[in-house]
Structure 1
Amino acid sequence: MSTNVTIDQWEIFQHGTRRSDTTITERIRVLATFEAETGVNPAYAQPLDIVRWYALHEEWSPGTHYTYHSYLTTWFKWLQLQDIRVDNPMVKLGTVKQPKRKPRPVADTHLIALLKTNMHHRTRVMILLATLAGLRCIEIAKFRGEDMDLPRGRMLVLGKGGDEKWVPLHPILAATAETMPVRGWWFPSNRTRPGQHVTRKSVSQSISDVFRRANLPGSAHPLRHWYGTTLLEGGADIRVVQELMRHGSVTSTQQYTGVTDIRMRAAVEKLDLHRAIA
């Protein structure tokens, strides 16, 4: 069976299991990159082929290595499931430990400076959705006027895997909604995708451009980090933050937001040396 036919079948399978378009595209891209750089059909790759491919990329971060390793693991498990392949070469490679995520929230002063920067209105709305609702880039890209429920003070977020969740609406976002379409995409594609919404990459690029013009460090995802971290620092229960950030488990929330600086500083300041001496 040719590489293209096999990968096409895998793509259909992933759509059937409701994987996101971004995940599917990335998984297929990684397989194509593997084949282009090794000259080996990924359906018939051996452990040594994979190890040598890893060795070509010393520049990979631990996170990238973990992600690509997991993509290949999923690929070979699917090949076995479809009886296309009997063995799984990833078994001989062992496991790659998932690196712990550390929070990278935008600093408060930087966020203020960012919002004072001149930008297109729709880019400002993207930033507000990330900052005041914790939306991911793909969630921002797919946002519609129908997702706003102003009378009830809530908004609908279409998350990973097609999951839908209503979350409380921040007053600033409620006011912002008055300036956006009541129906249809808030961020329609102007040229490349007529009738469709912009891509996740387009949202990320638009926000990154504003950071760059403002001469500030940061990008779209640290705005979501700011949302989660600020909720925790404000005293919100971690289960509440989990629901607001739409994480599948509280473990994800703990890894995502980390232990906040304010809480660590408060804990240290409570140390009483005089009482210990007494």
Structure 2
Amino acid sequence: MSTEQILAMWRMWQEAQGLSDRTIHERASTVGRLLAFSGVEALGLMPMHILAYCARPGLSGASRATYHESIRAYCAWLVKAELRTDNPALKTPSPKRVKSQPRPVQDAHVSDLVARANRARTQTYILFAALAGLRVHEIAKLHGRDFQGDILTVTGKGGKTAQMPLHPILVEEAFHYPSNEYWFHSYTGEAEHVSAHAVSKAIRDTMRRAGFVGKPHQLRHWYGTTLLAEGADLRIVQTLMRHESPATTAIYTRVDVSQQRSAMARLCLPGSDTIPPLAA
């Protein structure tokens, strides 16, 4: 059985699981790169191949962990499908996933980005990232049927669907787009809608024109941190950001030094207002 046939079988398995196309594609890409890197066929993976791939210099901790998760899923499937009797991923360590802190763009940058957009669709990308917290792959596939008045239905990470109210600016923005088709058609015509990469590139290019280097996801970070800073309840922000756990949302709570000093000023030593001097 060829590598292509085996990967096609794995794809069918994941589709039967109900996994999202994005998850399936990302897993397949990771395993495909691993096999090419290792110079082996689909059934020839050894622990040393996985170790070498995940230990490559320059990878972030998050990337190592994500790649290893995809590889573990593939190897576990090989055993379940009775294509192998052993699971080579079990003989490798799981990379530690370091929790990263949010890095929101500055308030001034948000308005600069809207002003610097060179196309109407790019401006809409930016607005939905900043005022709805959408990820680039969610923006890319916006469709008229996703909107019912001021309610947006969005299918995000892991194929999970949620409904959320829209900011008034976004309700107004929706009037400029079709109600029965994808909003952002591919420029090449090779797909029904623009790719997530194209959305990301458009926003990153606009960031450069605005005089700073950043990533589109920082607009989502701005969305979460600003909601919390303006006093929105943590649980409400969790639902708006579509996080499974409030602990994930909690990292978006920004605490600056002045707030820390203010808190420390309230700290009193019990039983005494002064500390008696002692000889050295």
TM-score normalised by length of structure 1: 0.90
Report how far residue 275 of structure 1 moved: 5.2
Aligned to 1:250: 246
Aligned residues: 271
Q: Secondary structure at the residue paired with 2:154?
A: strand
Matches within 5 A, 1:1-278: 1-55=1-55, 57-150=56-149, 153-193=150-190, 196-255=192-251, 257=252, 259-262=253-256, 265-272=258-265, 276=269, 277-278=273-274
Q: Secondary structure at the residue paired with 1:157?
A: strand
Cα distance between partner residues in 2 of 1:72 and 1:114: 38
What letter matches 1:254 in structure 2?
A
**Structure with a larger share of its residues in helix:** 1
Report how far residue 44 of structure 1 moved: 2.4
Decide whether the 8 Å contact of 1:34 with 1:42 is kept in 2: no
Decide whether the 8 Å contact of 2:133 with 2:241 is kept in 1: yes
Can you give the 5+ residue segments of structure 2 that lack an aligned partner in the other structure? 275-280
Query: What whole-Å deviation, never above 9, does each CA across 1:35-75 have from its counterpart, x for those lacking one?
Result: 222212242211122223334x2111111111111111111
Report how far residue 143 of structure 1 moved: 0.9
Report how far residue 131 of structure 1 moved: 0.5
Query: What whole-Å deviation, never above 9, does each CA across 1:177-212 have from its counterpart, x for those lacking one?
Result: 222223211112232335x11111111111111112
Greater relative contact order (CA < 8 Å, ≥ 6 in sequence): 1
Decide whether the 8 Å contact of 2:109 with 2:210 is kept in 1: no
Report how far residue 147 of structure 1 moved: 2.0
Could you tell me the percent identity over the aligned residues?
38
What letter matches 2:118 in structure 1?
M
Cα distance between partner residues in 1 of 2:29 and 2:181: 31
Report how far residue 34 of structure 1 moved: 1.6
Q: Secondary structure at the residue paired with 2:86?
A: coil
Q: 1:16 to 1:272 in 2, by over 3 A?
A: same
Query: What whole-Å deviation, never above 9, does each CA across 1:231-264 have from its counterpart, x for those lacking one?
Result: 1111112211111011222233235x2x4135x6
Can you give the 5+ residue segments of structure 1 that lack an aligned partner in the other structure? none
Q: Which moved more, 1:19-28 or 1:171-180?
A: 19-28
Query: What whole-Å deviation, never above 9, does each CA across 1:70-104 have from its counterpart, x for those lacking one?
Result: 11111111111111111111222122211112101
Cα distance between partner residues in 1 of 2:37 and 2:158: 31
Q: 1:210 to 1:135 in 2, by over 3 A?
A: same
Report how far residue 273 of structure 1 moved: 7.6
TM-score normalised by length of structure 2: 0.89
CA-based RMSD: 2.0
Report how far residue 171 of structure 1 moved: 0.9
The structure with the larger Rg is 2
Decide whether the 8 Å contact of 1:115 with 1:124 is kept in 2: yes
